[in-house]
Structure 1
Amino acid sequence: MSKKILEISDLHISFHTFAGEIKAIRGIDFDLYEGETLAIVGESGSGKSVTTKSIMRLLPTNNSEIKSGKIMFKDKDIVQASEKEMQKIRGKDISMIFQDPMTSLNPTMTIGKQIMEPLIKHQKMHKSEAKKRALKLLDLVGIPKPDIRIKQYPHQFSGGMRQRVVIAIALACAPKVLIADEPTTALDVTIQGQILDLMKELQKQIETSIIFITHDLGVVANVADRVAVMYGGKIVEVGTVDEIFYNPQHPYTWGLISSMPSLDEKNNELYVIPGTPPDLLNPPKGDAFAPRNPYAMKIDLEKEPPMYKVSDTHYAATWLLHPNAPKVEPPKIFKQECVNLQRG
């Protein structure tokens, strides 16, 4: 296994609202290794974006609070870092690609200036040197005629091209960690594929580690080395991409895979996980997924399950892995989806 580049342990994050304290992240642990892509998946509201924004320390300061836990990067705890220290890390060591490229780019600045900015600030490059590097980066991310495009503004680019520019800015300083928060959601399927291929290619060239946030399991199968499944502010299963897709252990993961759209004509209906995510103003006592879990036992409503080891790389938090638990078969629809994945 490669060297750890990022280590998150027992992280708890809350938001203080008029309604009360929302316990958005409730004790998560995960590591990121050099050169790997870790995908974090789960429904909206599961805590994916909050987790990654906390790594960048980009959570709103007026109502969010990191209650406890550590985010270790280069032997430094980011949780304890000052804003001045974070300004040196953001963009240089850890970069982020956001969901909507139009809100990530400054409409009043040329594309060239926006790519040159981190190079001048973090790498102390002269303007002429930064411009040469910006031209190279535009070429690297597949933007034609970079010498013309560098003088243009965001509104003169298509959605896919804007996302390529955002990737160029994020990779300008060759960061050690790249966080991609649903980077292809706003794009059509063809452009989505191109952007994912581009990210895989650039990862090899720049040797960066990627945390990829998505709710689209089809994307995960194409880009990830490992997958962490989030539910109710917790990681409920983590493993290699093959372990999660072909041998998942948590009923929530079964539900996510079962709800993937299928090209199989026999299945006209799309599977939907019943119920709704938990209210994190009043987090449940036991397993947060229990009310939606058709295999829930009495203990699920009373006690939170520990992380059980399935293999050296695969862990899942479900009482179904307890030695005394009844043997449960995944639903038929899940098995059919696995067959479809193997065909694909």
Structure 2
Amino acid sequence: MTSKVVLSLNNLHVKFKTLAGTINAVRGVSYNLYEGETLALVGESGSGKSVSTKAITRVLPGNSTISGDGIIYKGENLLEKNEKDLTRIRGNDIAMIFQDPMTSLNPVMTVGYQIAEPLIEHQHMNKKEAKKRAIELMNKVGILKAEERYGQYPHQFSGGMRQRVMIALAVACHPKIMIADEPTTALDVTIQAQIIELLKDLNKEYSMSTIFITHDMGVVANIADRIAVMYAGKIVEYGTANEIFFNPRHPYTWGLLMAVPDMELKDQDLYTIPGSPPNLLHVPKGDPFSFRNKFALNIDLESEPPMFKVSDTHYAATWLLDERAPRVEPPKEIFDRWEFFKTNIENKSVVKE
């Protein structure tokens, strides 16, 4: 039985007008987010991960243009909402944890009041009730001596503690959807693991659906139920965690998986995908990944591939899946990492559908 869809993106496009021209940052992104699941958006910097999620509640700069067939939440199209409606939805229904809490938190406002503010605004609590609830949330996310630290400022917290403040702020109003934009990038691996476990616990406790943005496939294996791989503003592969890790079909996904360092693999150089992502001021003809893809076919230089169906839950946009294409097997280096991926996937909380 399939879970209920809580959010649906349909053919989303985002463009930015700049002095150099128009940047086609997001090009026809579509996906469903299901109740209680964690969907990971993965890909290199500039692939459109953050922009596509910020478009959901329209927290993009003024030079952006958002279009498409709809962003559907609770049966309504968010693209048609006015600013007043979106202000009510932000934080209350759809919350966001940003990559750098130091720039996201207000430096001249105490962290406690920043957590209490949405409770006053959206939950209509008085200041006393909001403070009590904010302290409870600070305790819940692992901030010691929360009552004492309520009155402190962001610069008095470490990077990991600031991220915990951001998480407390995000879950304050029990949102239905959490968007976590690379929340562990600036943290060391020990703190990173703690934050991941905290997010998994809160996701389960509050029955939230989470969109987790990252470029770290090791983190993805530990947290994601489904994965959307993005490249050059588009989703190029989409499937369950098991499908993406153990049956990847797009050469770009192969590259991302081979780039995951595994300490068990001795005497092996770290892999990097050759070349650089394309300039989205001028989207190249054909498949944008073809110039970095040693398996590229002649048609990749002429026509962008459609999404080919691998299974009912697994799709990939590569001409290698066309029935006329030569058979190409994934590089053996991916199989060398399967035990590492398997361990991480088994250790995560899996959403049952």
Normalised by the length of structure 2, the TM-score is 0.95
Aligned residue for 2:79, secondary structure, equals helix
Question: Counterparts of 1:299 and 1:179 in 2: how far apart (Å)?
Answer: 37
Query: What does residue 349 of structure 2 align with?
Result: none
Aligned residue for 2:26, secondary structure, equals strand
Question: Counterparts of 1:133 and 1:340 in 2: how far apart (Å)?
Answer: 40
CA shift at 1:139, angstroms? 1.1
Query: What does residue 42 of structure 1 align with?
Result: 43
> Quick one: structure 1 residues 108 and 124, their matched pair in 2 at CA, closer, same or farther if it must change by over 3 Å?
same
Contact 2:49/2:230 (<8 A) preserved: yes
Name the Cα RMSD after superposition: 1.2
- 5+ unaligned residues in a row in structure 2: which ranges? 345-353
Query: What does residue 132 of structure 2 align with?
Result: 132
Query: What does residue 33 of structure 1 align with?
Result: 34
Tell me, yes or no, if structure 1 residue 224 matches structure 2 residue 224. yes
Query: What does residue 261 of structure 1 align with?
Result: 261
Q: Aligned pairs, how many?
A: 343
CA shift at 1:133, angstroms? 0.8
- 272-281 vs 193-202, greater mean Cα deviation: 272-281
Deviations 1:168-197 (A, max 9, x none): 000000001000000001111100000000
Question: Counterparts of 1:110 and 1:342 in 2: how far apart (Å)?
Answer: 42
Query: What does residue 270 of structure 2 align with?
Result: 270
Matches within 5 A, 1:277-292: 277-292=277-292
Deviations 1:268-325 (A, max 9, x none): 3111111111121111221111111111111111111111111111111111111111
- 133-142 vs 265-274, greater mean Cα deviation: 265-274
Tell me, yes or no, if structure 1 residue 71 matches structure 2 residue 71. yes
Question: Counterparts of 1:265 and 1:34 in 2: how far apart (Å)?
Answer: 37
Aligned residue for 2:68, secondary structure, equals strand
Aligned residue for 1:219, secondary structure, equals helix
Contact 2:10/2:68 (<8 A) preserved: no
Aligned residue for 1:310, secondary structure, equals strand
Question: Counterparts of 1:279 and 1:127 in 2: how far apart (Å)?
Answer: 49
CA shift at 1:73, angstroms? 0.8
Matches within 5 A, 1:290-309: 290-309=290-309
Question: Counterparts of 1:200 and 1:324 in 2: how far apart (Å)?
Answer: 43
Query: Percent identity between the aligned chains?
Result: 62
Aligned residue for 1:46, secondary structure, equals coil
Contact 2:110/2:150 (<8 A) preserved: yes
Amino acid at match of 2:67: K
Amino acid at match of 1:251: P
- 5+ unaligned residues in a row in structure 1: which ranges? none
CA shift at 1:68, angstroms? 2.8
Query: What does residue 248 of structure 2 align with?
Result: 248
CA shift at 1:342, angstroms? 3.8
CA shift at 1:64, angstroms? 0.8
Tell me, yes or no, if structure 1 residue 199 matches structure 2 residue 194. no
Query: What does residue 15 of structure 1 align with?
Result: 16
Matches within 5 A, 1:38-117: 38-61=39-62, 63-117=63-117
Question: Counterparts of 2:285 and 2:179 in 1: how far apart (Å)?
Answer: 32
Question: Counterparts of 1:343 and 1:82 in 2: how far apart (Å)?
Answer: 46
Amino acid at match of 1:207: S
Contact 1:12/1:69 (<8 A) preserved: no
Question: Counterparts of 1:248 and 1:26 in 2: how far apart (Å)?
Answer: 22
CA shift at 1:343, angstroms? 6.1
Contact 2:33/2:209 (<8 A) preserved: yes
Aligned residue for 1:109, secondary structure, equals coil
Contact 2:71/2:77 (<8 A) preserved: yes
Matches within 5 A, 1:155-166: 155-166=155-166
Question: Counterparts of 1:100 and 1:282 in 2: how far apart (Å)?
Answer: 30
Amino acid at match of 1:256: L
Amino acid at match of 1:297: L
Normalised by the length of structure 1, the TM-score is 0.97
Amino acid at match of 2:44: E
Contact 1:96/1:178 (<8 A) preserved: yes
Tell me, yes or no, if structure 1 residue 327 matches structure 2 residue 327. yes
Amino acid at match of 1:308: F
Question: Counterparts of 1:60 and 1:118 in 2: how far apart (Å)?
Answer: 22
CA shift at 1:339, angstroms? 4.4
Question: Counterparts of 1:206 and 1:335 in 2: how far apart (Å)?
Answer: 36
Deviations 1:103-147 (A, max 9, x none): 111111112111110000001111111111111101110111211
